[in-house]
Chain A
Amino acid sequence: MTYTMWIILTGCLVGVTCGVTGSILVLRKMSMIADAISHTVLLGIVGAFFVTQSLNGVPMLIGAGIVGILTALFVEMLHSSGVQSDAAIGIVFTSLFALGVVLISFIGDQVHLDVQHALMGEIAFVPWDTLTINGVSYGPVAVWMLGAVLIINLLLIILFYKEIKMSTFDAQFATLIGVPVVLIHYLLMTMVSLSTVASFDSVGAILVVAMLIVPGATAYLLTDRFLVLLILSGVIGILSALMGYWFAVQLNVSIAGSMAVATGVLFLAAFLFSPKQGVITRKFRNSKEETIQQSA
């Protein structure tokens, strides 16, 4: 595969992994926790480095998973002890992320891991960091990590489809009839953490948030079916990556940045022209109905 194809594939994998997982968060009105987790996983990555002394994929995933769950747990704890939930997210998010930043400065000269990289990522470097076993190169590490996380997430969604749907729509009823609501919550948090850390290297923490939230929010405007929403979110994630890459090449700008802009453009398009809820569609429909009424 060419250098360009690897970059595009990585972008699409980020789009579909984050898009599908994030759409569930959007439905659960938990978009801000995606923001929090996408930053606090930095602590998990740094922590994994302290333990293993390398930036290896698997310990990084484990570290991020643990910190992601801790983030959700701390937010829950603060909230249940009387702190407003948005404030609770703000507190946990900033303090864990800041701790990660402080720890990075201890190891800054040992590896290529700095705050700039953590926030913005650099998808253009992805093809050079390849998975090499016995001298044979099997393609970029990022693609392997993203692919693995995508498969894990899809498997979990398929296995717990009914449970995720029920606990998202009506958590109390779900609890009562024996759906493992708390387990599902932390499972989702783990999925978000894994998606984030796998995407981290290519698009960075800030742009992960865009990929987690915006495709889901866009799909929400376009469908009223849960399954379709999940699929559509993935498709919109991929579309954003493709559009973003094309923009970036045309204008010679940051690839990850223009992918995030593309999610915004697609959202705006859905917001204006969605057949059901689009602002302009509705206006157009209303004026058509008026003419019909007038002529009647």
Chain B
Amino acid sequence: MYALSVKDISVTYDKQLALENVSFAVPEGSITGIIGPNGAGKSTLIKSILQLLPTLSGSVEIFNKPIRTQKKIIGYVPQRSEVDWDFPTNALDVVLMGRYNHIGLFKRANKKEVAWAKACLEKVGMQDYATRQISQLSGGQQQRVFLARAMAQDAKVYFMDEPFAGVDASTEKAIIQLMKEWKAEGKTVLVVHHDLQTVNDYFDHVLLLNKSPIAYGETQSVFTLDNLEQAYGGKIAFLQKAPSTVKEYT
């Protein structure tokens, strides 16, 4: 069963084609990395899948049903830079946002929901920061709060947009651990990622993207020097370090 199947998505951005005919299907219980050069449309792809951006064409299904009927089982970790961290609120409140579907319109979070949110904070090691104003958290701590919020959603399919960007080593480890736990629970995870050196360690599937898909499949068969050269084009010179991890497959 495919957790996610994307058919022929095309997107324009500022009148230019940002994504062209992207199709792929992600098996349930896998961790997929979306890899590609800057401007390849990785974040755009995630946002179009989630219907946060208008698409020219294409369709998205989650467990064989149109995505708009399946939003309750989708979890999302946006890029940290996309929200205003000076907003007057604390870590616990942000995590409680993830329980919205369970709290419902007009109602306030009850004790059970608050306890749930606190448990999520604890899981990412942030229980001592529950009442801390979010601007007073470090980058890594802010990312953990976002992770806890996604966890609080209790979703089946998770989308993460550059979760490793600008975080400390221990937060990176916490993210990896959480992804693996999700996988063990049969959940499906998609991650926009840009650090090529860690691709082999983190993902079992890879979508190599540069406006249109270059290759998609299991990491071993997709993450090859040939494919990378095709995706990154002339910029392959910058990848001198990366192919050392690739070599064992080439």
Contact = CB atoms under 8 A, between A and B. Distances in A.
Given A175-B52, A220-B88, A162 B83 contact: no
A122 interface: no
A266 B15 CA distance: 46
A176 B50 contact: yes
Nearest to A80: B54
A163 B78 CA distance: 18
A24 to B, nearest CB: 11
B101 A223 contact: no
A178 B97 contact: no
A225 B105 contact: no
Interface in A155-206: 159-160, 162-163, 165-166, 168-170, 172-179
A177 B78 contact: no
7 contacts: A82-B14, A169-B94, A172-B76, A176-B52, A177-B71, A177-B98, A225-B90
Contacts of A176: 50, 52, 71, 74, 76
B238 interface: no
Q: 4 nearest interchain CB pairs? A: A224-B133, A170-B83, A169-B87, A224-B88
Given A163-B105, A170-B78, A178 B71 contact: yes
Interface of B: 14-15, 47, 50, 52, 71-72, 74, 76, 78, 82-84, 87-90, 93-94, 97-98, 100-101, 103, 105-108, 133, 135, 149, 153
A169 B71 contact: no
Contacts of B94: 169
A166 B149 CA distance: 12
Contact of B103 (A160, A162, A172, A229): A162
Nearest to B101: A177
Contact of B101 (A29, A162, A172, A178): A178
A172 B84 contact: no
B108 A162 contact: yes
B76 A173 contact: yes
Contact of B88 (A170, A178, A225): A225
Which DSSP category, helix, strand, loop or mixed, fits chain A's interface? helix
Contacts of B153: 177
Nearest to B159: A176
Contacts of B82: 170, 172
Interface in A132-173: 159-160, 162-163, 165-166, 168-170, 172-173
Contacts of B89: 165, 169, 224-226
A27 interface: yes
A226 B93 CA distance: 10
Interface string A221-259: 001111011000000000000000000000000000000
A249 B103 CA distance: 51
A44 B100 CA distance: 37
Contacts of B72: 178
B106 A224 contact: no
A169 B83 contact: yes
Nearest to B155: A177
Given A172-B82, A173-B76, A176-B71, A159 B88 contact: no
B100 A166 contact: yes
A177 B71 CA distance: 7
A138 B107 CA distance: 37
A172 B97 contact: no
B98 to A, nearest CB: 8
Contacts of A170: 78, 82-83, 97
Interface in A1-57: 27, 29
Contacts of A224: 88-90, 133, 135
A229 B78 contact: no
Contacts of B71: 176-178
Given A172-B76, A176-B50, A177-B71, 11 more contacts: A159-B106, A162-B100, A162-B108, A166-B100, A169-B84, A170-B82, A172-B52, A172-B82, A173-B78, A224-B88, A224-B133
Contact of A166 (B14, B50, B97): B97
A220 B89 CA distance: 12
